[in-house]
C-alpha cells in the first residue's frame, strides 16, 4: 500500500511538473515575441525551472512575471548579446556552406567554436541572472568560470539545448511539422528544465545554501 501511494505521489508530481512546463513554455514564447525581450523571458523561465528542479512549491505564472520584471534591464542586455551571437553563428554557417576548399573548413571550425561559446553563454547566464544579484560583467564571467570547472556537465547542457534544433532542421518536413506542435508545447521549457537539474547541482556545489 505504501508503495502504491508513493507511485501515486510520484505520478502526481510528474503531472504537475509537466503542466508547469507547458504553462512556462507558452509564457516564454509569448513574452519573447518582440524578440528583444527574450532575455527577461528566459530569466523568468530559469527562475521557475530551478524552483521545480529543487522540488520547491511554485506559483508558476506569478513567479515567472516577478522574475521577468525584476531582471528586465539586465536580462534585456544579456538577451541582446545572445541574439547577436546567434546572428553571427547563422551568418558564419551560411557563408561556410557557400564556399569550398580551405575557406570552407576554416569557417566551419570558426562557426563551431562560436557556437560552443554561445551555447555555454546561453546555458549558464540566464540561470545565473535569475538566481543571483550581480553585474552583467560578473554574470558573464561566472558563466564561463562554471563551464570551465564543469566541462562534462556543460557539454551535456549543450546537447540538451541543441537536440530540439537539430531534430527540427534535420528531419523530413512532415515530421518536423508534427514536432513543431511539441516545440510549441514544451520545446523551450523542457530543455531548460533538464538543464536546471544539472545547474542545481553545480550551483549547490560552488555556492551551497
Label residue 181 by pLDDT band (50, 70, 90): confident
When comparing pLDDT for 170 and 28, which is higher? 28
**Cell of residue 97, nine digits:** 556552406
pTM for the structure as a whole: 0.91
What percent of the chain stands above pLDDT 90? 68
User: Residue 54 and residue 47: Cα distance in Å, rounded?
Assistant: 11
Please give the full DSSP string across 121-146, using - where no structure is assigned: HHHHHHHHHHH----HHHHHHHHHHH
Q: pLDDT (tens digit, 9 = 90+) per residue, 50-89?
A: 999 999 999 999 999 999 999 999 999 999 999 999 999 9
Residue that wins the pLDDT comparison between 206 and 131? 131
Decide if 105 contacts 92 (C-beta within 8 A). Answer: no
Q: What is the pLDDT of residue 9?
A: 67
Closest of 10, 46, 36, 14 to residue 191, by C-alpha:
46
Read off the pLDDT of each residue in 184-204 and give the average, rounded to a whole number: 93
Amino acid at each position: 500500500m505504501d508503495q502504491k501511494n508513493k507511485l501515486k505521489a510520484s505520478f502526481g508530481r510528474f503531472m504537475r511538473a509537466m503542466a508547469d512546463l507547458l504553462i512556462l513554455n507558452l509564457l516564454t514564447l509569448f513574452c519573447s515575441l518582440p524578440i528583444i525581450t527574450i532575455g527577461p523571458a528566459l530569466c523568468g523561465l530559469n527562475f521557475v525551472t530551478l524552483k521545480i528542479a529543487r522540488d520547491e512549491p511554485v506559483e508558476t505564472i506569478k513567479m515567472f512575471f516577478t522574475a521577468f520584471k525584476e531582471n528586465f534591464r539586465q536580462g534585456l542586455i544579456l538577451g541582446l548579446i545572445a541574439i547577436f551571437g546567434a546572428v553571427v553563428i547563422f551568418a558564419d554557417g551560411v557563408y561556410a556552406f557557400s564556399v569550398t576548399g580551405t575557406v570552407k573548413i576554416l569557417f566551419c571550425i570558426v562557426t563551431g567554436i562560436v557556437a560552443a561559446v554561445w551555447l555555454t553563454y546561453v546555458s549558464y547566464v540566464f540561470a545565473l541572472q535569475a538566481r543571483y544579484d550581480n553585474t552583467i560583467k560578473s554574470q558573464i564571467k561566472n558563466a564561463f568560470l562554471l563551464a570551465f570547472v564543469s566541462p562534462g556537465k556543460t557539454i551535456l547542457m549543450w546537447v540538451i539545448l541543441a537536440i530540439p534544433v537539430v531534430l527540427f532542421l534535420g528531419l523530413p518536413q512532415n515530421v518536423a511539422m508534427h514536432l513543431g506542435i511539441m516545440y510549441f508545447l514544451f520545446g523551450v521549457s523542457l530543455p531548460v528544465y533538464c538543464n536546471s537539474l544539472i545547474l542545481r547541482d553545480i550551483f549547490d556545489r560552488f555556492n551551497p545554501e
